[in-house]
Amino acid sequence: MKPRGLLTLAMAAQVVVTAVALVASYAVASGFGIAQLVALLASAAVAVLLARLCARSIELSQDKGIAMQLAEQAQTRADSAQMTQAVIKTALDAFVQTDETGIVLEWSLQAEALTGWSRQEAIGADVVDLLIAEPLRAGFRQRMMRLLPELSDTPIGIRFEASLRHRNGDEILIEASSAVLRLGSRTMINNFVKDVTQKRAAEEQLIQSQKMDAIGQLTGGIAHEFNNMLTVITGTIEILADAVKDDPPLATITKLISEAADRGAALTSSLLSFARKQALLPAEIDVNELLEELAKLLLATFDKKIEIVTKLDGKIWLAFADRGQLSSALLNLAINARDAMSDGGKLTLTTRNVVFGVREAVAVGAGYAGDYVEIEIADNGTGMPQAIVERIFDPFFSTKEVGKGTGLGLSMVFGFVKQSGGGIKVSSAEGRGTTFMIYLPKAESSTLRPTGYDQRKVVGGTETILCVEDDRDVRQYVTVQLKSLGYKVLPAANATEALAIAAEGTPFDLLFTDIVMAGGINGRELAEQMVAARPSLRVLFTSGYAYDSPHAQSRATAGAPLLTKPYRKAELARMLRRSLDTAVDSVGDPIPTPYSVQAEAEGFLRKQSSDDSAATRSRK
Ligand SMILES: Nc1ncnc2c1ncn2[C@@H]1O[C@H](COP(=O)(O)OP(=O)(O)OP(=O)(O)O)[C@@H](O)[C@H]1O
Ligand SMILES: [Mg+2]
């Protein structure tokens, strides 16, 4: 019962008791005497008793109310703590709570995963000692001290980025949101920390790629046209040189033209390379063998003050890349290293196998998570400040004197590695040196290995070649060259013409086609259509410009060789023989005898069957 009800009841009871006592005593004594006095006293005693009873019960009920209130408050507090713990536990970001001096009070599971330090190790430790590299600690503490008053004034907290150190020494880039919490005299700083290393690396790679793409669009088209012109010059100049070889002044001029054309070809090739439009011919490469060759070359040409060391993994996988381009990329890196060690130093060439998860692959800008062959080129030269490291892959960025460096070296390396589906990473410390790491995809299957042709000897042939080239001048030039090598030529200005020739049943042994052609069908599609109809057909591609990546090729023409423009007669001759004489396809299966023979055999079979049916008919 409520206290107010009790009181009313008690007072009513007292009135009743007093009235009854008075009436009774009056009736007994018929007047006011001792009996009434006794009755009044009894009523007073009852009233006091009731009042005390009421007071006691009020006290009791009040105590109970307070106890219940306290229990409710405790429950609310427990619920709220539980909810906070659940929020911390399920948050994707790591939670770190410190006091105002940086001593860790709370450390979530995600914080363990992010930093490598367990909760047990972290609690009670100084957060700066735990997560900041030694040389940066003092600066970081100063920054924290400056942030603290700002944090106290802002109830919603502050967001900032910082570079932390994982327990294993790796650098982690984080984004933190911090807020101050005051509980009585205690001050706590709550931090939610997010790992943005991967995101930043991906963004940087994307910006770099977009920049390269934009320049690629511009240069790629120009270089394509330029290459066609150069093909005519470099090809025909040999004929001229031959004609004027007995006239020294004219012979000198032809030599000058030839050299200028070669320089033009080299520049076009650099432009295409950084634009990732280089016509690449990837194949399996033993990178150890390549690095041993490079080391020999460097030993012979570099100053003796530079020591050259190789650390090659004996169990290195085969890489899948263009051998020629890889050689020049490595040479570029070695030359840069030499330039950074003008007073001498050590150049170390290392190879190792690496398996990348998504995080590592993204960090180096590699195409996908998986197996890669790593080539490391390390020098202990001047090194670079961060501001320069950020720009080294930019085309035409050079710190070298005018005339000493074009600034295209590293952009070419970058373009080549990315076009090959690989990645590149650089680490540099001023005064201590620079390390470049190149990651190339591991070769998946055995691909055609070039057979050992003598590079210098020009060998022709008598086979028939269907030559598809949309540029009139180049087509004329190639036709002349092919004829001079002894081949029969069927020229076609585009894929439609070529398909018409094939449809007529004209026999030919090899399809020699440009990849990039005006009109609907490009060289690759043409080759695919023809190979589908004639699996024995040999194909040789030519291009000054690669639109598609090697990975995008279909299996039918995947192993077909590619002759990059501009080319000389000797290269054309060598590639033709290589294609015509190869007896196995890209996966090592034997290819049937060339098409013209096959066509003759088919013709023979057709004749046979028509003779047979004629005979059958005549027998009827
Ligand atoms: N190993 C290295 N050590 C120090 N700095 C380097 C190193 N490699 C490259 N650099 C810096 O990067 C810049 C760009 O290099 P890149 O190879 O692209 O051009 P370059 O060497 O200046 O000219 P090019 O290669 O066209 O002759 C260099 O000028 C140099 O400042
Ligand atoms: Mg260079």
What's phi and psi for 513, nearest 5 deg?
Answer: -130, 145
Measured in angstroms, how far is the CA atom of residue 417 from the centroid of ligand 2?
A: 15
Cα–ligand 1 centroid distance for 197 (angstroms): 26
The residues near 602 (Cβ < 8 Å, ≥ 6 apart) are: none
Q: Could you give the strand order of the β-sheet that contains 171-183, starting from the edge strand earlier in sequence?
A: 104-107, 94-99, 186-195, 171-183, 158-165
pLDDT for the residue 439: 95
Decide: residue 262, CB within 10 A, 0-12 exposed, 13-18 middle, 19+ buried.
middle
CA-to-CA distance for 454 and 561, rounded, in angstroms? 17
CA of 548 to the centre of ligand 1 (A): 29
Say if ligand 1 is within 6 A of residue 400 CB.
yes
- The amino acid sitting at 206 is L
Nearest Cα neighbor of 317 from 370, 377, 378, 379 is: 370
- For domain 91-195, say whether CATH 3.30.450.20 is its number: yes
Taking the CA atoms of residue 233, residue 239, residue 241 and residue 244 in that order, the dihedral angle to the nearest 10 degrees is -130
Q: Which ligand has the shortest distance to the CA of 341? A: 1
Q: Write out residues in the chain with pLDDT < 70, as ranges.
A: 1-4, 6-7, 10, 21, 25-26, 28-32, 208-209, 212, 216, 220, 274-277, 279, 359, 445-457, 545-559, 582-620
Find out whether the beta carbon of 25 lies less than 6 Å from any atom of ligand 1. no
408 lines ligand 1 (CB under 6 A): yes
- Is 189 in contact with 213 (CB distance < 8 Å)? no
For the chain, which residues make up each domain, given as ranges? 3-87, 91-195, 200-274, 283-441, 464-604
The protein residue with its alpha carbon nearest to ligand 1, atom 8, reads 336
Q: Whose CA is nearest to atom 27 of ligand 1?
A: 405
Q: What atom of ligand 1 comes closest to residue 337's alpha carbon?
A: 1
Residue 409, ligand 1, Cβ within 6 A: yes
CATH 3.40.50.2300 fits 464-604, yes or no: yes
Ligand 2 center–CA 178 separation, angstroms: 44
pLDDT at 200: 82
Phi then psi dihedrals of residue 167, to 5 deg: -55, -35
- Nearest atom of ligand 1 to the alpha carbon of 433: 3
* 413 CA from centroid of ligand 2 (Å): 9
Q: Is 210 in the pocket of ligand 1 (CB under 6 A)?
A: no
Rounded CA-CA distance 116/170 in Å is: 10
The pair of three-digit structure tokens given for residue 119, joined into one six-digit string: 């909760």
Strand stretches in 442-478, DSSP E:
464-468
Q: What is the position in ligand 1's atom list of the atom closest to the CA of 336?
A: 8
Instruction: Establish whether residue 398 lines the binding site of ligand 1, counting it when its CB lies within 6 angstroms of any ligand atom.
Output: yes
Q: Is the CB of 392 inside a 6 Å radius of any atom of ligand 1?
A: yes
Predicted local distance difference test score (pLDDT) of residue 447: 39
Q: How far apart are CA 372 and CA 353, in angstroms?
A: 6
Q: Select from 263, 335, 336 the residue to mutate for testing ligand 1; criterion: most ligand atoms less than 8 Å from CB.
A: 336
Architecture of domain 283-441: 2-Layer Sandwich (3.30)
Identify the nearest ligand to the CA of 391 by its number.
Answer: 1
- How many angstroms does the Cα of residue 395 sit away from the middle of ligand 1? 11
Q: Measured from the CB, is residue 345 less than 6 Å from ligand 1?
A: no
Our answer on whether the CB atom of 576 is closer than 6 Å to any ligand 1 atom is no
Nearest CA residue ID for atom 12, ligand 1 = 392
β-strands 282-285, 319-322 pairing? antiparallel
Question: Is the Cβ–Cβ distance between 546 and 408 less than 8 Å?
Answer: no
Q: What residue's CA is closest to ligand 1, atom 1?
A: 337
Q: Give me the sheet containing 433-441, strands edge to edge.
A: 306-312, 345-356, 370-379, 433-441, 423-429
Phi and psi at residue 182, in whole multiples of 5°?
A: -110, 125
Candidate of 263, 398, 399, 411 to mutate for ligand 1, largest count of ligand atoms within 8 Å of Cβ: 398
Ligand 1, atom 9, lies closest to the CA of 336
Closest ligand, as measured to the CA of 435: 1
Task: Give the residue whose CA is nearest to atom 13 of ligand 1.
Answer: 398
Q: For a ligand 1 pocket test, name from 215, 410, 426, 430 the mutation site with the most ligand atoms within 8 angstroms of its C-beta.
A: 410
- Confidence at residue 582, expressed as pLDDT on a 0 to 100 scale: 64
What is the Cα–Cα distance from 367 to 313, expressed in whole angstroms?
23
Partners of residue 66 on adjacent β-strands:
none
Residues with CB under 5 A from ligand 2 (ion): 336, 409
Extended beta strands in 115-183, E state: 158-165, 171-183
Centre of ligand 1 to C-alpha 206, Å, is: 22
- Residues 540 and 512: their CA atoms lie apart, in Å, by 5
